[in-house]
Amino acid sequence: MKEKQKLEANEMNSGERKHRERRHRGNGKTAIVIVVIAVLAIVGIAFAASKSGAGKQSETEKNQRVAKEEQKNETTPAQESGISQESTTSGEDTQSGETSENETEVLQETTPAVEETTSTYPVAGQEPFVFEDTGETKLAYLTFDDGPSDNTDQILSILDQYGVKATFFMIGIGKDDEASLQRYKAIAEKGHGIALHSFTHDYGSIYASIENFAADVQQIHDWVLQTTGVDTRIYRFPGGSSNTVANIDIQQGIDYLTSIGYRYFDWNVSSGDATGKPITAEEITQNVLSGSADKTRAVILMHDTNAKGETVRALPAIIEGLQSMGFQIVPITDTTKPVQHVKASYMQ
């Protein structure tokens, strides 16, 4: 019985050993398969990378060859300009911003020269202003704003009596009656200065915008040209260039007038006949003569309207007083040097 049990135990041990041996052999085979697969994967990756690198290198070499061929067939800007590649490279000075002498010469030869202009104002095709009255002679300019009026005839008659010429800064609105039209013409025919003072003399409208201002300037210019035949470019701002009522920057008006070849005149002597309170002929005369006493060029502001009878009465004494002070009374012309409260660029 013991022998039988011993035999059965041995058989069981032997079977278990065999089972363990089979399982061990199976595990070993599995490990070998895994190792083989891993080796094959590594080899495959290495091969693919090698092929890809070779392809990229081949593509790079191909691009380099193409670039070299194109470079051979092209002419560099330096070669087109007659500059060697070496001089162009040296002229760059490692992006220092400097330019070689050869490059400078080529730039000077190939760049069109900018035409210099001596004009003192931006009007194409016109010469700079030349002012003849230098101050060596005492000059007085009698200027009348806002006409013509019912008083124009008397003013012209007095000026004729003294043989002197004045300048009339004219407006246009309400001046289309026959008498006014004849006065426009008479002023021109007698050789007095013809100038512009706006068409409407309506500050709110004229100075509402630069477009309004420009339109008014053109309107009075055309009106005066039509009625007198004189193409004048002499202007006086309503209220003067120093007025404080304009809605636009007066510099805009100055720039506009300058751009179209106009000159504008203010005054340095006021007769005072535009004040709101009544003024006598004697006061007007005193204002003009005292204001002119310390000047060699007196631009005198007066007015030609229906309400300025005292100005007409003062005119003979003004003329005589100025002449006794050594003034030559002359009209404003294209060569008269302007008096300006706000100066234009050509006066600075």
pLDDT at 129: 72
Burial of 64 (0-12, 13-18, 19+ CB in 10 A): exposed
Question: In this structure, which amino acid lies at residue 67?
Answer: A
3-state percent breakdown (helix, strand, coil) of the chain, nearest 5: 50, 10, 40
Read off the pLDDT of residues 67-87 as tens digits, 9 standing for 90 and up. 444 444 443 333 333 333 333
Cα-based torsion angle of the residue sequence 11, 16, 19, 25 in order, rounded to the nearest 10 degrees: -110
Task: List the chain domain ranges.
Answer: 1-82+103-108, 139-347
Strands 269-270 and 263-264: unpaired
pLDDT at 82: 35
In contact, 141 and 164? CB cutoff 8 Å: no
Q: How many CB atoms lie within 10 A of CB 304?
A: 28
Q: Name the average pLDDT for the chain.
A: 77
Q: Residue for token digits 């070496």?
A: 86
Alpha carbons 284 and 319: distance in angstroms, whole number = 12
DSSP 167: E
**What is the Cβ-side half-sphere exposure of residue 10, based on CA atoms within 13 angstroms?**
6
In the block, tokens 């009209």 appear at: 331
Give the per-residue pLDDT at 283: 98
Please give the Cα distance from 72 to 61 (Å, whole number). 17
What pLDDT is attached to residue 132? 79
This prediction has a pTM of: 0.65
Q: What does the alpha-carbon distance between residue 217 and residue 126 come to, in Å, rounded to a whole number?
A: 20
Phi/psi for 68 (5° steps) reads -65, -40
- How high is the pLDDT of residue 217? 98
Q: Give the chain's residues under pLDDT 70.
A: 1-128
CATH of region 139-347: 3.20.20.370
